[in-house]
Structure 1
Amino acid sequence: MRMVFRWYGEGNDSVTLRQIKQIPGVEGLVWALHDVPAGEEWPMDKILAYKKLADEYGFHLEVVESVNVHEDIKLGRPTRDRYIENYMKTIEKLATVGVKTICYNFMPIFDWTRTELFKEMEDGSTALFYEKAKVDGMDPRELFETVIANPDFTMPGWEPERIGRLSELFDAYKDVSEEALFDNLQYFLERVVPVAARHDIRMAIHPDDPPWPIFGLPRIVTGQANIRRILQLVDHPSNGVTLCSGSLGANPANDIPAMIREFGERIPFAHIRNVKVYENGDFIETSHRSCDGSVDIAEVVRAYYDIGYTGYARPDHGRHIWDEKCRPGYGLYDRALGIMYLWGAWDAYARERGGKKVAQG
């Protein structure tokens, strides 16, 4: 397991590279050019500027999250070929700075969805929260305005320029079924996976968050059967999955350790976090400890250890603790605590099995 840490760049993150360097076992940054609109080719000068910052602290840039997929690709519009061409050119550029994994998602219109960014918990910390009934009865434009309400940071995966196009986009998706979305994903993968493979890069699709349809939009990366199908659309090692225990764990029917054991060789990137799911379908993000949420994170780590996982992993979202002012879900303190929980479990399994080596960065 190779530990990495998501960082949003200078001036766009409350966490500094100096602070990340002090977290044991972190070897690389998970990064992206968040100011480049989806569908545009990434400028080489901006890529190199990011690499220069990483090099100063001895971090690699082997994991990108995300190179966003333009909506016309998801919709299967005739214009998609131009955006796919830009995507392939970006892949080629990323290879020159050592990128090995590209995380992306295929969620229509909306990326991750929450109803509160700073829901207070019993201990006084706050966390990302999803209230199912509110989403079920909400005008999606209200949600978009809520998510981008924080003017201090861009929100990962969300594109503010879509606000004025919501009605247009919802109309466009009226005739897009799950099957059509699978077809459009296959069209995309058949073109980009060969390019990625030539450059020793693995594409890693992120599960839908939450893993069910919202606002009448189709969602297809929701569970074990659908992930199996996606990996078979283009059956190649460069077509992989970012296995996110938090996204998939919002549905109690998803067996995360079973997915790890089945898809292990096709998981280049792991997001490991916990979530507490309530009977009414609400959920809130918690600490990484198994007993604090509905996902048995200790068993998740055990599954990765059992398969001899050598891919990248990050602690994903954290709570906001100790009065930290930070991007929702992406403070320093709780994610650092999460890393130490993950390393502790990994080391324990190594010693339990008589392994000579414990966690290494």
Structure 2
Amino acid sequence: MEMVFRWFGEGNDTVPLNYIKQIPGVKGIVWSLHDVPAGEKWPEEEIQKVKAQADQYGFSIDVVESVNVHEDIKMGLPTRDKYIENYKDTIRSLAKVRVKVICYNFMPVFDWVRTELHQPMDDGATALFYEKKKVDEMNPDDLVHTILENKELSMPGWEPDRLSDLARLFKAYKDIDEERLWGNLKYFLEEIIPVAEANGIKMAIHPDDPPWPIFGLPRIITSKENIKRLLHLVESPFNCLTFCSGSLGANLHNDLPEIVKEYIDRIPFAHIRNLKHFDNGDFIETSHRTSDGSLDIFSIVKAFHNGGFQGYIRPDHGRHIWDEECRPGYGLYDRALGIMYLLGIWDSLDRMKEAKV
């Protein structure tokens, strides 16, 4: 297992690389070219800049998160082919710096969704929060109006070019149900997986967050059964899953350790975080510690350890603690604490295994 840390790049991240270097056990950064719009080729000179920055601190750049998929691909429009060709070229460029995994998602319009970025907690920290009733009652027209009126409203992972085109996108997705979205994903994978395989890069789709339809938009990477369907769309060891405990764990019917055990040979990359569920369907993100939330983080890590996991793991969204001002969910302090908790579990499991030999 290799511990990695998500980094948004110089000028985009409050956490500098020299701080990340001081977190014990971190071997690499998880990165992206966040200023390149979805659908465009990634410039090789910009890729090389990130490699040079990482090399200064001895970090790997094996994992990219994300090479975003253009909406025309998700909607299956005739223009999708040109964007798919650009995607293939980006895969080839990333192979030149020895990238091993590309994390991406196929969520229509929005990336992960929360209703509050700084929900107060009992101990004075704040965290990302999802209020089910608010999302359920907000129709697309209200959402578009709210975002357009509030110029400062944004969510990490939401691309600016999509936000400015929300009304058109909602209208375009009206006739796209889950089956059509599955078909469009299959078309995309059939095109790119041979290129990824030829270049030694695993394409690891991220589960939908939350794992159910929102604002009338379909979502399909939501459960063990749907993960199985995904992995059979294209029969290749390079068609993979990014396991995310927080995304899949938002639905308590998902047995997370069982998903790890079932698909570990197709999981090259994992996000691990905890969250606490409430009876009304709300949830808030907590520390990584098992007892602080509703997810059994120990059993999840144990499933990876017992399966001989050789891929990459990163701590996912952290709380905002000790008055840190940072990108919501992506501060230094709580994610560093999360790393130490995860490595503590892993090291203990190593010792237990050695004691049995």
2:50 & 2:229 partners in 1: Cα distance?
Answer: 35
Q: 1:24: which partner in 2?
A: 24
Q: Quick check: 161-170 or 306-315, which moved more?
A: 161-170
Shift of 1:147: 9.8
Q: 2:277: which partner in 1?
A: 277
Q: 1:40: which partner in 2?
A: 40
8 Å CA contact retained: 2:113, 2:155:
no
8 Å CA contact retained: 1:127, 1:320:
yes
2:145 & 2:267 partners in 1: Cα distance?
Answer: 35
TM-score by length of structure 1 reads 0.95
1:75 & 1:335 partners in 2: Cα distance?
Answer: 35
8 Å CA contact retained: 2:144, 2:167:
no
8 Å CA contact retained: 1:318, 1:331:
yes
Q: Quick check: 181-190 or 160-169, which moved more?
A: 160-169
8 Å CA contact retained: 1:34, 1:156:
no
Q: 1:225: which partner in 2?
A: 225
Q: What SS is found at the alignment partner of 2:118?
A: strand
Shift of 1:163: 2.7
Q: 1:174: which partner in 2?
A: 174
1:207 & 1:55 partners in 2: Cα distance?
Answer: 30
1:1-361 to structure 2, matched below 5 A, reads 1-138=1-138, 139-141=142-144, 144=147, 149=152, 156-354=156-354
1:178 & 1:79 partners in 2: Cα distance?
Answer: 21
2:306 & 2:285 partners in 1: Cα distance?
Answer: 26
Q: What SS is found at the alignment partner of 2:262?
A: helix
Shift of 1:162: 2.0
Amino acid at match of 2:70: H
2:146 & 2:131 partners in 1: Cα distance?
Answer: 12
Amino acid at match of 2:205: I
1:320 & 1:356 partners in 2: Cα distance?
Answer: 40
2:249 & 2:101 partners in 1: Cα distance?
Answer: 23
1:284-333 alpha-carbon deviations (Å, 9 max, x no partner): 10000111111100000000011000100000110000110100000000
Q: What SS is found at the alignment partner of 2:313?
A: strand
Q: Quick check: 133-142 or 328-337, which moved more?
A: 133-142
Amino acid at match of 1:181: L
1:328 & 1:130 partners in 2: Cα distance?
Answer: 14
The 3 A distance-change label for structure 1 pair 84 and 274 is: same
The 3 A distance-change label for structure 1 pair 345 and 143 is: farther
8 Å CA contact retained: 1:42, 1:90:
yes
Shift of 1:164: 3.1
Amino acid at match of 1:328: P
Amino acid at match of 2:94: L
1:218-248 alpha-carbon deviations (Å, 9 max, x no partner): 0000010001100000011100000000011
8 Å CA contact retained: 2:241, 2:268:
yes
Aligned residue pairs, count:
354
The 3 A distance-change label for structure 1 pair 107 and 146 is: farther
Percent identity over the alignment is 64
Shift of 1:211: 0.4
The 3 A distance-change label for structure 1 pair 201 and 333 is: same
2:208 & 2:147 partners in 1: Cα distance?
Answer: 17
8 Å CA contact retained: 2:156, 2:328:
no
Q: What SS is found at the alignment partner of 2:263?
A: helix
1:135 & 1:219 partners in 2: Cα distance?
Answer: 15
Amino acid at match of 1:141: V
2:150 & 2:311 partners in 1: Cα distance?
Answer: 31
TM-score by length of structure 2 reads 0.96
8 Å CA contact retained: 1:148, 1:155:
no
The 3 A distance-change label for structure 1 pair 2 and 356 is: farther
Structure 1 ranges of 4+ moved more than 3 A? 142-148
1:186-241 alpha-carbon deviations (Å, 9 max, x no partner): 00000101100011100000000000000011000001000110000001110000
